[in-house]
Amino acid sequence: MPFTIISQGTFTQPSGGAVSQIINTPSGVDYFKTYNLTQLTTTQSTGRCVMGEWFNGGEAVTGQLNSSNDGLCWFKSSSSSNALNVSSFSAQSAGGFTYVNSQPAPQAAITGTTITQATAAVASATNTYSNGDTVIIYNAVGMQQISGMQFTISSVSGSSFTLLGLNSSGFATPATSFQVRRVSPSLPVNPQTLYVTNITQASQGVVTVSQAHNYQVGQLIEFTIPAVFGMTQLNNFNQPSSKPIVITAITTYGFTINVNTTAYTAFAFPASTASPTAQLFATVAPAGQITQFNAVTGVQTGYNFNQVPFHSGLFIPYMLIPAGVLSPGGSASDVIMWQAFKMETGTINAPVPS
């Protein structure tokens, strides 16, 4: 038999906005197909991808598929016709399939022009990134104190993205140029270490990190804060009995801790001009968890079996299905059916008859 279906399924894009989807493929995949069940039965004023195909090994065949091997896009071109057209995703300037069979390495660098001094810094760079992607910024001229940090990006347009985890309003200067690479959406193991971008002086300090995190209430953490960042009192060896610090509340980019930081030295980034000799970075690392039991209600809180134990951050291999009107992941509320096929032997370039 030429192909064996390994697995199939469906997913529905969130109504608030479609996002890239990850499909685990434990056996690997040689042929992957998506159907946009929603768009197959509708007509739209603009083109819509209704079916996507991806062939493993196609990248080496010039002209056979497409040079980037991101798959074939079967699409309706307009509302006036239900006729199907076919093209590569890249030719439609749409994100296509990405098959990932090892921990993703940083992608090719993009040169950006500015990073603003703002409550949420905005970076300007021509890009093809998506909301929620993780990037690493380096060689940020004028903001070298963040060079090497990872950020979760949001409000992505083709020309800019926002760093919700960075308040750069207190920095001396904006960045006048920088390099950025998109990196793996997760480190290999979770919970992972995070970069600290701010800690308030409060009866319960509030910590801001550069990435959307998956830390949980009740989780224990340990800070590593070099002297150039100020609030070294949070370093473990300065804490009473060296006890780990407990998270008491969480937000997307931060969390509250059970430490009164009111009298601590203010947290502040070193100046850009201190680079490269300034000791970077302020970080926070997972250190276990502590559960709370309410004897009155009988409720145990402060534990999440899916997030707190050390575990793999990504299941590899997987197929990344990006969202977009001409992408296989579709638009908001679209229902997508996917099928993953595995050949018995051979590849598309060296098929073995069977």
Partner 1 sequence: MTFSTGITGIQNMAPELPVQASEDLLSTPMFNLIHSFGVDLHHAESYIGKTTRMSRFERLSTDGGQLDGSGIDPASEVPVRTDIDATMEIYAKSIVTNEQVVLWENSKTLTKFTALLGQWLREKEDLLMRDLFSSSVSYINCTGGVNGDQPSNISLNDVNNIENILLGNDARSMLTNLEATLRFSTGGVRDAFIALCNTNLAADLQKVQGVLLKSAYPTQEGLRPEEYCSISRFRFFVSSKAARTPGVSLLGNTVYTIPMYGLEAAAKIEQNNYTAVIGYRPPWVVSSVAQNSQLYAKFAIARAITNQNWISGLNATTFLPS
The site for partner 1 (CB under 8 A) is made up of: 103, 105-106, 109, 136, 138-139, 144, 147-148, 179, 181, 183, 187-193, 220, 222, 224, 226, 236-237, 240-244, 275-281, 283-291, 305, 308-313
Q: Choose between 203 and 241: whose C-beta lies nearer to partner 1.
A: 241
Check: CB of residue 334 under 8 Å from CB of residue 324: no
Q: To the nearest whole angstrom, how small is the minimum distance from the Cβ of residue 120 to partner 1?
A: 23
Check: CB of residue 182 under 8 Å from CB of residue 123: no
Q: Choose between 169 and 243: whose C-beta lies nearer to partner 1.
A: 243
Calculate the alpha carbon distances from 191 to 50, 194, 211, 268, 285 in Å: 37, 9, 13, 25, 8
Q: To the nearest whole angstrom, how small is the minimum distance from the Cβ of residue 288 to partner 1?
A: 4
Distance of CA 162 to the CA centre of its chain: 13
Peptide bond before residue 276 is cis, with ω within 30 degrees of 0: yes
Report strand pairing: 48-55 vs 31-36.
Answer: antiparallel
Tokens of 5: 């279906």
Q: Choose between 28 and 170: whose C-beta lies nearer to partner 1.
A: 28
- Rounded CA gap, 5 and 331, in Å? 26
Q: To the nearest whole angstrom, how small is the minimum distance from the Cβ of residue 335 to partner 1?
A: 31
Q: Choose between 39 and 210: whose C-beta lies nearer to partner 1.
A: 210
SS3 240: helix
- Rounded CA gap, 259 and 309, in Å? 23
Q: To the nearest whole angstrom, how small is the minimum distance from the Cβ of residue 316 to partner 1?
A: 11
Q: To the nearest whole angstrom, how small is the minimum distance from the Cβ of residue 336 to partner 1?
A: 28
Q: Choose between 72 and 123: whose C-beta lies nearer to partner 1.
A: 123
DSSP 105: P
Q: Choose between 34 and 147: whose C-beta lies nearer to partner 1.
A: 147
Q: Choose between 192 and 347: whose C-beta lies nearer to partner 1.
A: 192
Q: To the nearest whole angstrom, how small is the minimum distance from the Cβ of residue 329 to partner 1?
A: 27
Q: To the nearest whole angstrom, how small is the minimum distance from the Cβ of residue 137 to partner 1?
A: 9
- The pair phi, psi for residue 273, each rounded to 5°, is -70, -15
Tokens of 171: 């920095």
